Amino acid sequence: MASVALRFVNGSRLALRRSHTPAKSRTIRAFSAVMSPPSRAVVYDLHGSPDSVTRVVSLPPVEVKANDVCVKMLAAPINPSDINRIEGVYPVRPEVPAVGGYEGVGEVHSVGSAVQGLSPGDWVIPSPPSSGTWQTYVVKDQSVWHKINKDVPMEYAATVTVNPLTALRMLEDFITLKAGDSIVQNGATSIVGQCIIQLAQIRGIHSINIIRDRAGSDEAKEKLKRLGADEVFTESQLEVKNVKSLLANIPEPALGFNCVGGNAATLILKFLRQGGTMVTYGGMSKKPITVSTSSFIFKDLSLRGFWLQKLMGTDEAKESRKFIDYLLDLAREGKLKYEMEVVPFDNFHIALSKALGKQGSQPKQVIKF
């Protein structure tokens, strides 16, 4: 096998270089090119356990071509899907070696000669999210970058395109809800879950929330109710013959969100009204979803899935940017909030360890560059 090293390819710092690649071309291209600053990046050369395969390295400058924008990253989160990409278990992932990270916020550092509408100093986010945000300088085509207002708290700008957008699109994309309707969800303490509660409440939609039985579940309930949850139940509270008897003045939900699977998904199905829809967007319990025949035939339930990655077509991406602006407005106004821990880049591996769940339950880790 040929030896492998980092090289410049098409504005990307990371690709395989085999020993037979002529080094000359690099020198020639660099001669007249506008170059980015060097970048410090979280790189992985192999798929595997993130805390063993990732390392922080310096990457050399890359060319900023006519349509490129060089962005100085300000902050980027560690999401579960980032971890899955590094592990190699995510269906869509960059080829290794790769820089980690998928969303984040940055400030425009320099622009190529053909770039319009973006200037140094602007805040931008990659939208749709785009791989390689765990580094100090990112160079990508101008179409990748969405300019946002600079008055949004940085950590919300860094995290809006995955979890809050998932919550919003799931509320919008499946059925038409109106004020007074209700939804039901499990995994309600997750960031998506917290966003669903708040976004539903803004629309006058009631939320019925299911959480795990665990130490601190009473506090978790109170926290979710402060965010606007109408009802919060632990799974064991729902071991009753008719879960709907627990709903006082809330109508039966037409829409449910499942990010757990197993019994927690069955509980969603029990709450749903005739003709209701359950959307699965995660499987935290690693258990499958089991459904009775009569749920489909007589109760007319529909089961669907949601994956943000699907929303990559031009039209949907454009629509998502409007949704993102709306979500960032809410975050700025304090109407959309969730817990995060902002961690300096130097402490990346501590943050990664927390994100991997090795230090118990921790808030979302957001790297500040």
Shorter beta-carbon distance to a copy of itself: residue 54 or 166: 166
Query: How far is residue 215's CA from residue 220's CA, in Å, rounded to a whole number?
Result: 9
Would you tell me the crossing angle of helices 217-227 and 191-202 to the nearest 10 degrees? Answer: 40
CB of 103 to a copy of itself, least distance (A): 18
Shorter beta-carbon distance to a copy of itself: residue 264 or 324: 264
Contacts of 221 (CB under 8 A, 6+ apart): 211, 229, 232, 234
CB of 189 to a copy of itself, least distance (A): 19
CB of 110 to a copy of itself, least distance (A): 37
CB of 338 to a copy of itself, least distance (A): 22
- Tally of residues, the chain: 369
Q: Is the C-alpha dihedral spanning 26, 30, 35, 38 positive or negative?
A: positive
* C-alpha closest to that of 258 among 192, 176, 357: 192
What does DSSP say about strands 277-280 and 255-258: parallel, antiparallel, or unpaired? parallel
Query: How far is residue 158's CA from residue 140's CA, in Å, rounded to a whole number?
Result: 17
* Per-position x/- string for 302-341, each x denoting binding to a copy of itself as judged by CB under 8 A, each - no binding: xxxxxx--x-------------------------------
Amino acid at 318: K
Shorter beta-carbon distance to a copy of itself: residue 222 or 300: 300
Tell me, by CB under 8 A, how many residues bind a copy of itself: 28
* Per-position x/- string for 268-307, each x denoting binding to a copy of itself as judged by CB under 8 A, each - no binding: -----------xxxxx----xxxxxxxxxxxxxxxxxxxx
Residue 353 buriedness (CB in 10 A; 0-12 / 13-18 / 19+): middle
Contacts of 269 (CB under 8 A, 6+ apart): 256, 278, 291, 295, 301
Shorter beta-carbon distance to a copy of itself: residue 295 or 365: 295
Q: Is there a contact between 79 and 103 (Cβ–Cβ < 8 Å)?
A: yes
Question: Is 261 a residue that touches a copy of itself (CB under 8 A)?
Answer: yes
Shorter beta-carbon distance to a copy of itself: residue 275 or 344: 275
Q: Is there a contact between 344 and 52 (Cβ–Cβ < 8 Å)?
A: no
CB of 260 to a copy of itself, least distance (A): 9
CB of 266 to a copy of itself, least distance (A): 10
Shorter beta-carbon distance to a copy of itself: residue 84 or 353: 84
Q: Which of 44, 90, 102, 338 is catalytic?
A: 90
CB of 256 to a copy of itself, least distance (A): 12
Shorter beta-carbon distance to a copy of itself: residue 67 or 277: 277
Q: Is 90 a catalytic residue?
A: yes
Binding-site member from 22, 91, 117, 334 for a copy of itself (CB under 8 A): 91
Question: Is 251 a residue that touches a copy of itself (CB under 8 A)?
Answer: no
What would the DSSP string read from start to end of 178-219? Answer: -TT-EEEESSTTSHHHHHHHHHHHHTT-EEEEEE---TTHHH
Enumerate binding residues for a copy of itself (CB under 8 A).
91, 261, 279-283, 288-307, 310
Active site residues: 90
